[in-house]
Amino acid sequence: MAKFADKKIYSPYRTLSRDEWRRLRNETPKYLIEQDLQKLQSLNEKLSLQEIKEIYLPLSRLLNIYVGASQELFKATDTFLGSKTEKVPFIIGIAGSVAVGKSTTARVLQSLLANWPNHPKVALITTDGFLYPNEFLEQRGLMQKKGFPESYDIGRLIQFLADIKSGVKEVSCPLYSHLSYNIVPDQKQLVSHADILIVEGLNVLQIGTESEVKPPLFVSDFFDFSIYVDAEEKDIEQWYLDRFLLLRETAFRNSASYFHRYATLTDEEAVHVARGIWREINAVNLQQNILPTRYRADLVLLKGGNHAVKQVKLRKL
């Protein structure tokens, strides 16, 4: 009799190698390959045209299939109910660690998805806008936990998504400045008549922090599809260090920057500071709050040390 340890453990995912995944773009319309590649490449010096073609074009094709199916189901349900309500946006959530490349993934998908004819208007928000203002965080001793679930106004984020899914034509959300490291007072981002809404953030798949609504609602309850951008922690830490050193030479030199005090650090001092921030804040948040939500994603993009995706996991239907 076989021991329990020898039994095959069921996985909810179908795992595809990079080579298997890239073949799935064969039927992607040619114009998607030709449009905006230079613009997309400029988003991140680590993002190659090959990566866009082999990883993001197949992903845009898959998402287009999901959006199309959702639109047809909406029409069928409308017909069944005998109503004529306007369609609501298909919402895609993108989660993952600090410095793993969520923002680049979100912007690339926004551009590629907008080129498909059945959903030309693609909006993108980040959950940074739903962080509590620094003043609030300081009063409650949470500045060292900025980015942790408790530093977000989850109730406000859930209300925003509920309005989107309720068909409200124009919904606004707060704006966040990475320069001032704070919410921008009296400024909003407007989401209007979107076919697709991409929501990018550290903890968007988190279910440990709920709103005061009963029964409980979570941010991910509003997602039609979710993506987790993954990598080995040692690689993410190195990418964080690289980014910190780059920002020290660029954005940190602006006197208005919250991190201007780091602009004059030597390389050795900057690495020491960045490692400390990673170890005391970002690594803790990753291990305690972000990584445990990976299994909830519909699709996982696993990156190698060179930023290139080496494996894709797609949840089985």
**Per-residue pLDDT tens digits for 6-52:** 556 788 999 999 999 999 987 676 555 555 665 665 555 567 888 88
Q: What number of other Cβ atoms are within 10 A of residue 2's Cβ?
A: 6
Segments of the chain with pLDDT less than 50: 1-2, 4
Give me the residue spans of the domains in the chain: 11-315
- pLDDT of 66: 96
Beta strands (DSSP E) in the chain are 13-17, 90-96, 122-126, 170-177, 182-192, 196-200, 225-230, 299-303, 309-315
- What fold does the segment set 11-315 form as a domain? Rossmann fold (3.40.50)
pTM given for the model:
0.92
Between the CA of residue 223 and those of 88, 90, 200, 257, what are the distances in Å? 12, 8, 11, 34
Residue-level pLDDT at 8: 65
Q: What is the pLDDT of residue 87?
A: 81
